[in-house]
């Protein structure tokens, strides 16, 4: 009998790599025992990554979801694993030490056995605390090597990286091939090198199938000493997801490996349930193109986990760009036109940003800069005209040392803007915060929850948590779902279970209307008028909305939105919003636009006095909309 190979079902990642949302907790509870009955999985990935935030976005408590979802696996003796982002914990921005430590304690209490920790820069300094805190909380500490393909990221680089992480306390190693661009032969050599140096360490291979290498890579990993292979299953395998269970199982079995049998009756039931969840509501958030293999991604190396959001971002940017082109009598672009330009620009941008592995959140940062560069080049502008705050943090070293050197143009741009580089321990930049959130919860009369899990969620995702607690998140999600259903079938009014009676079946839509040569943006709605739901601010909103004030003379200049997104006057509670009458200098930050999961500062290009504040805090804004007028 050949070597035993175990399988792990990455059920969370299957969804996150396909679209925006996960199944609801009632759906997860239905499928969990069926996955157990399949009988072939040693592990199931249940949570982590975006799971918590996704639950909050559609108005559910992620703590309840994790406890109820992991229960069947815990009882069956199937290990559960989560994904966490090192310095960033469960979010896209750095987390303080006290919050990171509490997270591991909470997750173990909720039924999660293994923490797969990765750092988007493969920075060992950022992962060391994850191993310490995971083991202190009673979890198995697994280190993930973020696999990418570049002149810097060689086979020896990854073997040596595994050495460092094991020395720091990692109990297992995962090759996290998040974009599926790891070449099979190289994956095999990595596993062999790690196995030779660490004969007793458990090695797990995780590969997305996007460009088509993952099946061969899984075989090479198994042949060279891997113990566990991550798989997806229909109807969410392949595409930006993962190689299919049935394919991997048959391949390994044919190569002489000992793999557990699959209960096909249970498999078909799990397959049917997953499709039911897609038909229920999740399919409205899955771009069909994410179900396709795409070899164009070999060059750009963008990961499967972000392709869902990428296509949504691309569509919004394309609509805005085509409006700009149309106004100037130029031909509109297709999605494929812009996608190809984006992929080409990623290849240009990536080395100049220091070759950060293209994994969350840095894949988003590289993609965002590349997309803005692509759009600016189409408009006849220069590269690097808009770099968001998050990407500047990456460039300046606030998340750790970059794998490669920065391009000279980036260094010169940083100097020109007076930015300072940081070379210390990134964790030192983010002081403990739990006492602050404990006090806030006390003032609001909120309970910290079992094992302080509610405190952990609030501190981890403060704005999302507040919207969840207020009910705004659920209402906004249902409104959005109704609109998507209505758009697919406009002749039929669709009722969503749990939708408040006051919500109309078809939601308001924004239209651009031309009347006698004058362009207007109007909102069209059906049914009885309803109050517009307000968006959650990135930080504490101004005490009262700024009422637009007419300028006292006609000598004003407009500050325009450089991109579309959600406008905020302030980024955090330490800032004071500008008000009419305030004097500003050139370079003054006048507000922020949240777009494509990152924050972009908007600075004044001239000095003067605020005459009118046009944009509203927390509301959507389009490119070239007026933010404020300066006298």
Arithmetic mean of pLDDT, 131-144:
98
Question: Given this model, what pLDDT does residue 508 score?
Answer: 46
Question: Given this model, what pLDDT does residue 497 score?
Answer: 46
Which pair of tokens denotes residue 263?
């209960």
Question: Given this model, what pLDDT does residue 320 score?
Answer: 82
Arithmetic mean of pLDDT, 380-391:
88
Residue 477 or 596, more confident: 477
CA distances to 304, 339, 347, 376, 386 from 342, in Å: 16, 5, 9, 12, 15
Instruction: Give yes or no for a contact between 302 and 367, defined as CB atoms under 8 angstroms apart.
Output: yes
Instruction: State the Cα–Cα distance between residues 460 and 120, nearest whole angstrom.
Output: 18
Write out pLDDT tens, residues 506-526.
Answer: 444 544 444 344 444 444 443
Which range in 333-342, 435-444, 596-605, 619-628 is most confidently predicted, on average pLDDT?
435-444
Instruction: Give yes or no for a contact between 155 and 184, defined as CB atoms under 8 angstroms apart.
Output: no
Does 38 score more than 90 pLDDT?
Answer: yes
Residue 272: how many other CB atoms lie within 10 Å: 13
From first CA to last CA, the distance across the chain in angstroms is: 82
DSSP assignment of 458-524 equals HHHSHHHHHHHHHTHHHHHHHHHHHHHHHHHSTTS----TT--TTS-SS--EEEEEEETTEEEEEEE
Does 537 score more than 50 pLDDT?
Answer: no
Does 532 score more than 80 pLDDT?
Answer: no
Quickly state the pLDDT bin for 573 (edges 50, 70, 90).
low
Instruction: Give yes or no for a contact between 495 and 505, defined as CB atoms under 8 angstroms apart.
Output: yes
Quickly state the pLDDT bin for 502 (edges 50, 70, 90).
very low
- Which neighbouring-strand residues pair with 130? none
Does 550 score more than 50 pLDDT?
Answer: no
Residue 24: how many other CB atoms lie within 10 Å: 18
Every domain of the chain and the residues it spans: 6-287, 434-470, 472-524, 557-630
Arithmetic mean of pLDDT, 79-105:
95
Which pair of tokens denotes residue 219?
């075989």
Whether omega for the bond prior to residue 361 falls within 30 degrees of 0, making it cis, is: yes
6-287 is classed in which CATH architecture?
Alpha-Beta Barrel (3.20)
Question: Given this model, what pLDDT does residue 562 score?
Answer: 81
Indicate if the alpha-carbon torsion angle 341, 342, 345, 351 is positive or negative: negative
Q: What is the dihedral of CA 355, 356, 360, 362, to 10 degrees?
A: -90
Whether omega for the bond prior to residue 235 falls within 30 degrees of 0, making it cis, is: yes
The closest of 126, 116, 146 to 401, measured between CA atoms, is 126
Question: Given this model, what pLDDT does residue 538 score?
Answer: 41
Quickly state the pLDDT bin for 491 (edges 50, 70, 90).
low
* Portion of the chain with pLDDT greater than 90, in percent: 59
Write out pLDDT tens, residues 289-334.
Answer: 777 777 777 777 777 556 656 666 777 788 888 888 988 899 999 9
DSSP assignment of 342-404 equals HHHHHHHHHHHTT---S-TTHHHHHHHHHHHHHHHHHTT--TTS---HHHHHHHHTTT---SS
Give the lowest-confidence range in 142-156, 353-367, 511-525, 586-600: 511-525
- Paired sense of beta strands 557-560 and 626-630, if any: antiparallel
Arithmetic mean of pLDDT, 607-616:
89
Question: Given this model, what pLDDT does residue 246 score?
Answer: 98
DSSP assignment of 416-472 equals HTT-----S-GGGGS---HHHHHHHHHHHT----GGGHHHHHHHHSHHHHHHHHHTH
Indicate if the alpha-carbon torsion angle 51, 56, 62, 63 is positive or negative: positive
Mean pLDDT of the chain: 87
Residue 136 or 533, more confident: 136
Residue 244 or 341, more confident: 244
Count of residues making up the chain: 631
Neighbour-count burial of 387, counting CB atoms closer than 10 A to its CB (0-12 exposed, 13-18 middle, 19+ buried): buried
- Which neighbouring-strand residues pair with 258? 4
Quickly state the pLDDT bin for 262 (edges 50, 70, 90).
very high
Give the lowest-confidence range in 2-16, 295-309, 345-359, 531-545: 531-545
Question: Given this model, what pLDDT does residue 529 score?
Answer: 36
Question: Given this model, what pLDDT does residue 152 score?
Answer: 93
Arithmetic mean of pLDDT, 118-130:
93
Arithmetic mean of pLDDT, 102-123:
96
Q: What are the strands, taking DSSP E only, across 147-224?
A: 172-177, 202-207
Does 503 score more than 70 pLDDT?
Answer: no
Quickly state the pLDDT bin for 572 (edges 50, 70, 90).
low
Does 575 score more than 80 pLDDT?
Answer: no
Give, for 194, the enclosing helix (H) or strand (E). Answer: helix 184-197
557-630 is classed in which CATH architecture?
Beta Barrel (2.40)
Indicate if the alpha-carbon torsion angle 61, 63, 68, 69 is positive or negative: positive
Question: Given this model, what pLDDT does residue 309 score?
Answer: 62
Residue 174: how many other CB atoms lie within 10 Å: 28
Arithmetic mean of pLDDT, 586-613:
82
Instruction: State the Cα–Cα distance between residues 63 and 574, nearest whole angstrom.
Output: 30
For 303, residues 6+ apart whose C-beta sits below 8 A from its C-beta are 178, 179, 180, 208, 210, 358, 359, 360, 363
Question: Given this model, what pLDDT does residue 112 score?
Answer: 98
Instruction: State the Cα–Cα distance between residues 459 and 452, nearest whole angstrom.
Output: 11
Instruction: Give yes or no for a contact between 298 and 211, defined as CB atoms under 8 angstroms apart.
Output: yes
Instruction: Give yes or no for a contact between 570 and 576, defined as CB atoms under 8 angstroms apart.
Output: yes
Q: What share of the chain is helix, strand, coil (3-state, %, to 5)?
A: 45, 15, 40
Residue 390 or 453, more confident: 453
Question: Given this model, what pLDDT does residue 536 score?
Answer: 38
Q: What are the strands, taking DSSP E only, across 2-77?
A: 6-9, 43-48
Residue 544 or 233, more confident: 233
* DSSP 8-state class, residue 232: B
Does 528 score more than 70 pLDDT?
Answer: no
What are the strands of the beta sheet with 608-613, ordered from one edge?
Answer: 557-560, 626-630, 608-613, 583-584
């Amino acid at each position: 009998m050949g070597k035993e190979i175990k399988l792990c079902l990455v059920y969370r990642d299957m969804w996150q790599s396909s679209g925006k949302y996960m199944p609801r907790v009632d759906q997860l509870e239905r499928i969990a025992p069926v996955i157990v009955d399949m009988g072939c999985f040693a592990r199931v990935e249940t949570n982590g990554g975006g799971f918590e935030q996704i639950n909050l976005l559609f108005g559910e408590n992620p703590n309840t979801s994790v406890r109820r979802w992991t229960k069947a696996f815990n009882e069956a003796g199937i290990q559960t694993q989560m994904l966490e982002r090192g310095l960033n914990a469960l979010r896209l921005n750095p987390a303080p030490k006290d919050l990171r430590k509490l997270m591991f304690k909470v997750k173990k209490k909720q039924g999660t056995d293994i923490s797969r920790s990765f750092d988007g820069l493969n920075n060992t300094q950022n992962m060391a605390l994850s191993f310490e805190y995971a083991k202190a909380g009673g979890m198995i500490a697994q280190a993930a090597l973020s696999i990418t393909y570049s002149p810097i990221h060689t086979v020896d680089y990854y073997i040596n990286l595994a050495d460092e992480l094991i020395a720091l306390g990692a109990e297992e190693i995962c090759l996290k091939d998040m974009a599926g661009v790891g070449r099979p032969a190289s994956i095999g050599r990595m596993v062999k090198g790690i196995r030779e140096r660490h004969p007793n360490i458990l090695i797990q291979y995780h590969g997305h199938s996007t460009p088509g290498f993952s099946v061969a890579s899984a075989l090479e990993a198994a042949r060279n000493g891997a113990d566990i292979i991550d798989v997806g299953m229909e109807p969410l395998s392949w595409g930006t997801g993962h190689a299919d269970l049935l394919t991997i199982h048959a391949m390994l079995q044919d190569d002489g490996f000992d793999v557990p049998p699959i209960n096909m009756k249970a498999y078909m039931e799990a397959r049917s349930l997953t499709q039911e969840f897609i038909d229920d509501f999740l399919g409205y958030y899955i771009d069909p193109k994410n179900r396709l293999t795409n070899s164009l991604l070999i060059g750009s190396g963008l990961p499967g986990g972000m392709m869902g959001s990428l296509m949504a971002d691309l569509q919004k940017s394309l609509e805005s760009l085509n409006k700009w082109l149309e106004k100037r009598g130029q031909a509109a672009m297709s999605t494929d036109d812009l996608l190809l330009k984006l992929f080409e620009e990623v290849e240009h941008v990536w080395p100049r940003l220091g070759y950060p592995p293209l994994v969350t959140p840095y894949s988003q940062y590289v993609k965002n800069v590349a997309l803005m560069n692509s759009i600016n080049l189409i408009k006849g502008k220069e590269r690097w005209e808009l770099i968001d705050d998050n990407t500047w943090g990456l460039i300046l070293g606030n998340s750790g040392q970059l794998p490669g050197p920065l391009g000279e143009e980036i260094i010169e741009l940083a100097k020109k803007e007076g930015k300072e580089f940081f070379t210390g321990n990134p964790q030192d930049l983010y002081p403990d915060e739990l006492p602050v959130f404990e006090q806030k919860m006390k003032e609001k009369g909120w309970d910290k929850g079992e094992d302080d899990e509610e405190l952990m969620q609030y501190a981890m995702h403060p704005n999302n948590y507040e919207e969840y607690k207020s009910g705004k998140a659920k209402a906004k999600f249902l409104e959005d779902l109704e609109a998507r259903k209505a758009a697919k079938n406009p002749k039929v009014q669709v009722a969503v279970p749990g939708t408040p009676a006051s919500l109309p079946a078809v939601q308001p839509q924004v239209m651009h209307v031309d009347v006698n040569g004058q362009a207007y943006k109007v909102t069209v709605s059906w049914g009885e008028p309803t109050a517009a739901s307000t968006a959650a601010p990135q930080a504490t909103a101004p005490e009262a909305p700024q009422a637009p004030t007419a300028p006292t003379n006609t000598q004003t200049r407009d500050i325009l939105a450089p991109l579309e997104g959600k406008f905020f006057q302030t980024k955090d509670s330490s800032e004071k919003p500008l008000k009419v009458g305030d004097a500003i200098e050139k370079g003054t930050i006048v507000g922020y636009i949240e777009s494509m999961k990152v924050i972009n500062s908007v600075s004044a290009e001239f000095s003067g006095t605020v005459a009118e504040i046009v944009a509203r805090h927390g509301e959507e804004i389009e490119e070239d909309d007026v933010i404020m007028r300066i006298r």
